[in-house]
Amino acid sequence: MEQKIALIGFGTVGQGLVEILENKKSDLISNYGYNYSIVAISDIRFGTVYDPEGLDVTQLLAEISDTGSFQHNLTDWDALTLIKNCNADVVCELAFTDLETGEPAISHCMAAFESRKHIVTSNKGPAALAYKKMKDLADKYNVMFMIEGTVMSGTPVLNLTSGPLAGCRISSAKGILNGTTNYILSEMENGMEYKDALKKAQELGYAEADPTGDVEGYDARAKVTILANVVMGVPCLLNEVTCEGISAITAGDIQNARENNSRWKLIGNVEYIDGNLTASVKPEMIALTHPLAGIMGPTNAATFSTDLLGDITIVGAGAGKIETGFSILSDLLEIHRLS
């Protein structure tokens, strides 16, 4: 059966997803029996479009490229009305992240669950601020809350622990969860001062004009909160994760680590031992022998300590149009498999 998809937010990730779906359409049908149609898109910038029979996304992409907005299939429904009234099976919430309130994404998710639609999202807001509420509501309506893209984009972290690692007890997760800060620290290893490395990260598009969310560790803190809730299965609030960023690291600190056969990394850490959860984000001097010490540039990585396999480290992209678009695809395929 064809999976009907609504997209809320049609920026980098939404367009990345559509690119993958279109390019792989025949492989997805022949390899996984997966067929889809995109029935609705709502984006503040481009407008809102709906066709219960399926939209022509190639035409819509051409329209926004030519005119900056959608031209056909327009509706004056707002995003919440669209979510409630459209005939989608799955709503992909791909609008902006607000780590203060989680809105409007939390309302989008709730409207989807209450109208018995699955949610797939790379937006950290709902999962970091209201994971239990979202999961309970999804369970109540017998739909899924899928969030693979919220931690390390398409690199499979959450699905790794719930899938291939199911049966292992995971006592800790320790990761480089923010590519911007890892890039800055890597450039400082190459001899740059912090402010120059930050400027270069901004020029390359790794850091935003206001880099606070990355360099002060807030983005990584949201991901640690998600890991605590999902991987450890322990309710954890964002403000229970202690947080320190990298903005105070100096060239002297870098040199000191080098002399001690170590490297500074911004480490997100969550441990659940003897019923006690501890969660933090802070710069740590990591011994060069540890698998996380070799992760340079904007790459992300996470090490899970398990009872049956020892330590498992996964390394991969933490952001990107196609990489994060893939995270959405992997969750859509999982919903298809389980439906």
Ligand X SMILES: NC(=O)c1ccc[n+]([C@@H]2O[C@H](COP(=O)([O-])OP(=O)(O)OC[C@H]3O[C@@H](n4cnc5c(N)ncnc54)[C@H](OP(=O)(O)O)[C@@H]3O)[C@@H](O)[C@H]2O)c1
Residues that bind ligand X (CB under 6 A): 8-14, 42-45, 79, 94-97, 104, 122-123, 149, 153, 319-320, 324
Biggest CA-to-CA distance, the chain: 64
Residue 3 or 123: the one with the smaller Cβ distance to ligand X is 123
**Sequence-ordered alpha helix ranges (H) in the chain:** 12-23, 25-32, 57-67, 79-85, 105-114, 124-140, 158-162, 179-189, 194-203, 212-215, 218-230, 251-259, 321-338
CB of 233 to ligand X, least distance (A): 23
Residue 9 or 211: the one with the smaller Cβ distance to ligand X is 9
Residue 13 or 249: the one with the smaller Cβ distance to ligand X is 13
Closest residue (Cβ) to ligand X?
11
CB of 46 to ligand X, least distance (A): 7
Residue 283 or 298: the one with the smaller Cβ distance to ligand X is 298
Q: Are 13 and 149 in contact (CB under 8 A)?
A: yes
Rounded Cα–Cα distance for residues 206 and 180 (Å): 5
Rounded Cα–Cα distance for residues 8 and 36 (Å): 16
CB of 320 to ligand X, least distance (A): 5
Identify the active-site residue in 223, 265, 282, 321. 223
Which residues on neighbouring strands pair with residue 282, listed in sequence order? Answer: 267
CB of 31 to ligand X, least distance (A): 25
CB of 193 to ligand X, least distance (A): 27
| CA distances to 70, 113, 128, 154, 178 from 232, in Å | 43, 24, 14, 20, 20
Q: Are 304 and 271 in contact (CB under 8 A)?
A: no
| CA distances to 138, 153, 241, 261, 269 from 17, in Å | 23, 12, 32, 42, 30
Rounded Cα–Cα distance for residues 229 and 9 (Å): 25
223 catalytically annotated? yes
Kindly list the catalytic residues. Answer: 223
